[in-house]
């Protein structure tokens, strides 16, 4: 189990990659990120991968048949690491300050009772730390003609982690325990995975309700998924209580699973028959699991001003079959004397479920299935030539159907805008996002379009540039796209 915990920590803080796969809260391409993570109607070409495949049919320049994403000149990458509850100022106040005692030794900050209450309140909804890092390894799109549609192939990685520390654990650490106290740790969460997606997409335009839509597109993506690792707590029903004469009762009922590529050579403490293997890390490890996902989208242009869109993404699951372990415990331990080794010597094994943990044949996990609804408004078309350049305004509603990584059952609403001044090659973008994991975000960024090459950059948390000590996370995205 020790090996698994070390691996989980390494996973949480490692620099891996994640894909164009939105879920309902995941970071996507740089243009969408800058516009407050709006994409259902605003995406064009390869920007529709993982968000709304119907928009892959749309081209900014209809004369260009090919679009390609490679690592040159700028790879498509993005990152979001942080929390939704703890700012840098708060972290430094509680954990970063120290003082020197009379002996000249550095000692930690002394927390007053008000400090302790304030820290506990920060964890009132659970202290969640989240990472979401992304890159597209390669993508190519070909539109031979409007009649044939658009064919797209992409390879991308999906990485994420989500760790929640229970509020009552913080209360225990801050205030200690007295007789009669009961601390419940049921809100503990841990989940991390690395998936690779091979996507084949097709989008097409058609005449549909011509009295309603000028143009109407539909598209879908079939995603072959390779999983390289998974770690997750599936059930946590544990508590700690103090009885008479400071007797401690620990009730531990939990279940967790993990699966790792054979190339990672992860050892499980419950497996006494395992032999020491050498790990082999690289960009193409052998899969620990495989699965299938499906994206489907619609996009309709009502007139030159209004467009609407609807998409469902990541419909599917992954079956993990290599090195799948199940960790579980359902035990109650009574300790009347902490100095009595007969009561404590096997405590670690009991709490981690070493004796009841085992290999299992298979584990199935769902992909971050989500629905996206969007509306766009072309302001310059609405005012008919009285606006300097082009201005697109978009609104998105995103709803996750599970709480998998990059997803949330809490809905997210976002509003974004893109302004391209007349005869300029630069586009300015901004947007606001409300709900989901982040609760609030102000996105901003810009793009350069040289015709054959497009460069984009942005952040969904632009507001933290004006209040860096109040930042709760670090996030950005950048990419490039060839067009010819």
Closest CA to 77 of 458, 463, 432: 458
Q: Is the pLDDT of residue 4 over 50?
A: no
> Are 426 and 398 a contacting pair, CB within 8 Å?
no
Q: Is the pLDDT of residue 16 over 90?
A: no
User: What pLDDT, on a 0 to 100 scale, did the predictor assign at position 385?
Assistant: 81
Give the lowest-confidence range in 177-186, 268-277, 462-471.
Answer: 268-277
The domains of the chain, with CATH numbers, are 2-85+123-483 (2.40.160)
User: What pLDDT, on a 0 to 100 scale, did the predictor assign at position 435?
Assistant: 93
User: What pLDDT, on a 0 to 100 scale, did the predictor assign at position 15?
Assistant: 36
User: What pLDDT, on a 0 to 100 scale, did the predictor assign at position 6?
Assistant: 37
User: What pLDDT, on a 0 to 100 scale, did the predictor assign at position 12?
Assistant: 40
Query: Quick one: DSSP state of residue 4?
Result: H
Please name the residues in contact with 346: beta carbons below 8 A apart, sequence gap of 6 or more: none
Chain-centroid distance, C-alpha 104: 45
Q: Is the pLDDT of residue 225 over 60?
A: yes
Q: Count Cα neighbours of 43 within 13 Å in the Cβ-side half-sphere.
A: 36
Of the pLDDT bands very low, low, confident and very high (cuts 50, 70, 90), residue 249 is: confident
**Portion of the chain with pLDDT greater than 90, in percent:** 60
Of the pLDDT bands very low, low, confident and very high (cuts 50, 70, 90), residue 291 is: very high
Q: What is the 3-state secondary structure (H, E, C) of 203-257?
A: EEEECCCCCCCCEEEEEEEEEEEEEEEEEEEEEECCEEEECHHHCEEEEEEEEEE
Which of the pair, 358 or 18, is modelled with greater confidence? 358
Q: Is the pLDDT of residue 277 over 70?
A: no
Summarize pLDDT for 94-137 with one digit per residue, the tens: 887 766 666 777 777 788 889 889 998 888 877 889 988 888 99
Q: Is the pLDDT of residue 148 over 80?
A: yes
User: Helix count (H) and strand count (E) of the chain?
Assistant: 8, 23
> Are 229 and 191 a contacting pair, CB within 8 Å?
no
Q: Is the pLDDT of residue 3 over 50?
A: no
Query: What average pLDDT does the segment 234-262 reach?
Result: 88
Give the lowest-confidence range in 213-222, 268-277, 362-371.
Answer: 268-277
Q: Is the pLDDT of residue 20 over 60?
A: no
């Amino acid at each position: 189990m020790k090996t698994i915990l070390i691996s989980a920590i390494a996973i949480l803080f490692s620099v891996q990659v994640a894909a164009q796969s939105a879920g309902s809260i995941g970071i996507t391409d740089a243009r969408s990120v800058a516009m407050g993570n709006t994409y259902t109607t605003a995406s064009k070409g390869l920007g529709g991968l993982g968000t709304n495949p119907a928009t892959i049919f749309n081209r900014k320049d209809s004369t260009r048949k090919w679009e390609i994403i490679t690592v040159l000149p700028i790879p498509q990458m993005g990152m979001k690491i942080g929390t939704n509850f703890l700012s840098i100022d708060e972290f430094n106040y509680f954990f970063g300050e120290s003082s020197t005692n009379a002996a000249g030794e550095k000692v930690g900050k002394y927390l007053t009772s008000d400090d302790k209450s304030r820290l506990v309140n920060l964890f009132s909804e659970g202290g969640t730390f989240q990472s979401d890092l992304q890159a597209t390894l390669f993508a190519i799109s070909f539109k031979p003609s409007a009649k044939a549609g658009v064919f797209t192939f992409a390879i991308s990685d999906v990485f994420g982690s989500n760790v929640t520390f229970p509020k009552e654990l913080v209360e225990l650490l801050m205030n200690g325990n007295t007789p009669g106290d009961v601390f419940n740790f049921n809100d503990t969460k841990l989940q991390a995975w690395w998936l690779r997606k091979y996507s084949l997409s097709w989008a097409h335009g058609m005449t549909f309700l011509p009295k309603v839509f000028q143009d109407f597109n539909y598209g879908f993506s079939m995603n072959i998924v390779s999983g390289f690792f998974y770690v997750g707590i599936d059930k946590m029903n544990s508590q700690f209580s103090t009885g008479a004469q400071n007797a401690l009762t620990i009730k531990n009922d939990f279940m967790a699973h993990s699966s790792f590529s054979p190339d990672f050579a992860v050892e499980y403490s419950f497996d006494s028959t395992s032999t020491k293997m050498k790990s082999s890390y690289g960009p193409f490890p052998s899969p620990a699991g495989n699965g299938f996902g499906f994206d489907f989208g619609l996009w309709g242009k009502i007139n030159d001003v209004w467009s609407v869109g609807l998409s469902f993404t990541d419909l599917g699951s992954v079956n993990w079959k290599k090195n799948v372990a199940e960790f579980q415990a359902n035990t109650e331990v009574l300790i009347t004397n902490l100095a009595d080794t007969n009561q404590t010597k096997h405590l670690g094994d009991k709490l981690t479920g070493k004796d009841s943990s085992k290999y299992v044949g298979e584990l199935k996990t769902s992909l971050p299935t989500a629905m996206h609804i969007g509306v766009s408004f072309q302001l310059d078309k609405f005012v008919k030539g009285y606006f300097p350049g082009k201005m697109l305004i978009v609104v998105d509603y995103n709803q996750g159907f599970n709480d998998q990584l990059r997803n949330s059952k809490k809905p997210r609403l976002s509003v974004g805008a893109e302004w391209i001044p007349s005869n300029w090659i630069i586009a300015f973008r901004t947007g606001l996002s409300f709900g989901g994991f982040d609760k609030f975000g102000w996105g901003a960024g810009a793009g350069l379009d040289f015709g054959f090459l497009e460069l984009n950059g942005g952040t969904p948390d632009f507001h933290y540039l004006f209040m860096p000590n109040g930042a709760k996370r670090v996030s950005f995205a950048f990419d490039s796209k060839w067009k010819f």
